[in-house]
Amino acid sequence: MARKITRLGALCAAIAAQGAEAAVSFAIPNKAGTGAQLYAPLDPAPVGISFEFFAFPSYFTNVTATKQCLANWKDLTGVWPPIRIGGTTQDRASYDSSTSAYVVYSVANPADAPATLTFGPKFMTLAGTYPGSVVVGLNRGKNNIDNTIAAAKVAVSEVTNLLAIELGNEPEYYPKDGQPIASGTWNPSVDAASQVDWSIRVGSAVGKRNIIQAGNWNQPPPEWGAAQLIASENATASQYIRHYAHHNYPGGDVQKLQSHSQTSSNVRSMFAADVAAVKQQTGKEYVLGETNSVSGGGAANVSPTFGAALWTMDYALRAAAHGISRVYFHHGTVGNCQYCFWGRYSMGAPYYGATAAVALAAGASSIAALDAGTDGYAAYVTFDAAGAPLRALLYNSDYYAGGGAEPRSSQQFTLTGLRGDRVRAKRLTAASSLSRADRGNDISFGGQYWVNGTCVVGGEEVFETVEVAGGRATFDIKAAEALLVYL
């Protein structure tokens, strides 16, 4: 149970910040499923990447770091991370069977996304080279179902590891975007009827059940949520739907973004009821099909920071602990993407946080959040297939802007229920919440970093060792730091 922050507690915390802070304490369950906390099954690769539709060929043919950044996670977990290809430009794209190019478009400025584009069969062939699971997003906005069915057939034949097809991206915005399908009345129930109709027609045309990733809205549930879509489905439609997806960009400044209570409350209030409805009514998966820190490619002073990296880690794990199967972090226009984990020339800080989350999840079958999500201090534990605890991740989400004006506070985390007489740990750290990998600030995970342009790991791997006495150990974690403890 985490400490409750009271006014007195906050005062004590301020005084204690100079010295040792009262410890928060968490008991490691000796087996998954025991005790009061909730356990969620964990996907073999719960942290994924979303590529903006038009930019996908560029990421895969022209950005050297892409393959290595994905391979680093495969090396940690044994499973290639899942990818999704889609976004706003999927609803601007038309399939052209006659083009030999991946994508055809023109933009006034390389920083822009195209207003319209075509793609050829090679686009899907390229997606088929990826050894991990692939979700492909196709166009519904243009209301040209014959073109979408032609594209879906190529996706099914070319994308070896095709997990699902999306029919439209964030359809609640179709009227604003002037999309033909929404030229009449457009609201959640009209969209739901359209999703049902298209799922049946595309699913039957490609001859595959469990093939559609439905939903894909950005506006929050329940208005734009899976529960209302499920209510519109009959048995013919639901056989084609593999799972449900939602998008989310929490936004805010760095301090708010990295706040653990904020992230916990966002995930709980936005998604807990919709996830529960999907599980109870269909037993299917729920994913965050597209997400990142701030919408529209990110915010220049927020999305590339270490604070955003800490958010990435905490958000992926909180979502997993709420039963969300996979979280796909969006990557937009190459060279104009504040929240990207990597680019053509430099690494982004968020890759560090995402990698810490992947390292906690590696090889695990289930996860539990040990904290109530009501203060700044988080603790997650993962368990193996037999239910034995594997690792814990401890996170101090207090903000630290650096600059030396104020001392950096530290929080003690005590873990009980430990076995053996010592544990090893890897620290995720940086000089401040505002540190940036793309500005040459030191950020490290277990003493290591990833090289600009290639995403090859650099530096010596460093483990800390902490003594365990009577099943108990205490860890000092500075403001804006996390520690991965190997149990």
Of 44, 141, 145, 107, give the one whose Cα is nearest residue 362: 44
- Nearest residue (CB) to ligand NAG, 178 versus 440: 440
Here the tokens at position 361 are 């999840």
Task: For the CB of residue 193, give the shortest distance to ligand NAG in the complex, in Å.
Answer: 8
- Nearest residue (CB) to ligand NAG, 240 versus 475: 240
Task: For the CB of residue 422, give the shortest distance to ligand NAG in the complex, in Å.
Answer: 32
- Nearest residue (CB) to ligand NAG, 200 versus 379: 200
> Quick check: 51 and 84 in contact, CB under 8 A?
yes
CA 379, CA 434: separation in Å to the nearest integer?
23
CA 423, CA 24: separation in Å to the nearest integer?
18
Task: For the CB of residue 223, give the shortest distance to ligand NAG in the complex, in Å.
Answer: 22
Task: For the CB of residue 119, give the shortest distance to ligand NAG in the complex, in Å.
Answer: 12
- Nearest residue (CB) to ligand NAG, 222 versus 459: 459
CA 90, CA 106: separation in Å to the nearest integer?
16
| Helices then strands, each counted (H, E), the chain | 12, 24
- C-alpha distances in angstroms, 238 versus 181, 196, 216, 281, 446? 22, 8, 16, 11, 45
User: Given the rule CB under 6 A, which residues bind ligand NAG?
Assistant: 57-58, 61-62, 102, 196-197, 200, 234-237, 346, 438-440, 452
- Nearest residue (CB) to ligand NAG, 197 versus 384: 197
| Nearest residue relative to ligand NAG (C-beta) | 440
- Nearest residue (CB) to ligand NAG, 272 versus 457: 457
DSSP 8: H
- Nearest residue (CB) to ligand NAG, 291 versus 429: 429
Task: For the CB of residue 55, give the shortest distance to ligand NAG in the complex, in Å.
Answer: 8
DSSP 90: G
- Nearest residue (CB) to ligand NAG, 94 versus 441: 441
SS3 percent helix, strand, coil of the chain, rounded to 5, is 30, 25, 45
Task: For the CB of residue 428, give the shortest distance to ligand NAG in the complex, in Å.
Answer: 17
Task: For the CB of residue 334, give the shortest distance to ligand NAG in the complex, in Å.
Answer: 8
Task: For the CB of residue 439, give the shortest distance to ligand NAG in the complex, in Å.
Answer: 5
